[in-house]
Amino acid sequence: MPKTKKEQQTELDGVFVFKLVLYVLLGSLWLKVHSDGMSTGVPIPIGLVVGLIFTSHEHFRIDRKIEYATLVLAALIGLIAPYGLFVGL
C-alpha cells in the first residue's frame, strides 16, 4: 500500500544542514589526556562516540551512511586540527 503525503515524514532543508553541522562539531571533538612524563597526549575520540550514540537513537534519520561518513571525516580532521579538550593528569 503506497504511503500518503501525511504518512511520509519529510525534513526541512534547514534541519538537514543543522544535523550535518552538529555531526561535524561532534565528530571533531577529541579529549587529549596528558601525563607528567608524556610530551604528547593520548587522544580519545569522545565526539565520535557521542555522535554514533546520537545517530543510532535519532528518530528522524537522514541517510545513515552520510551521517557516519560525516562523523568519521570530522573525527579525522579533528585529530589533526589543534582544538579540543586538553586534560593534564
pLDDT computed for residue 66 by the predictor = 85
* Alpha-carbon gap, residue 55 to 29, rounded angstroms: 16
pLDDT computed for residue 72 by the predictor = 92
Q: What DSSP state is assigned to residue 88?
A: E
pLDDT computed for residue 39 by the predictor = 67
Regions of the chain where pLDDT drops below 70: 1-11, 37-39, 59-62, 82-89
The DSSP code sequence of 1-35 is -PPPTTTS----HHHHHHHHHHHHHHHT--EEEE-
pTM beyond 0.95: the answer is: no
Distances (CA, A) of 76 to 22, 26, 68, 71: 16, 12, 12, 9
Tell me the per-residue pLDDT of 48-59, one tens digit each, with 9 for 90 and over. 899 888 888 776
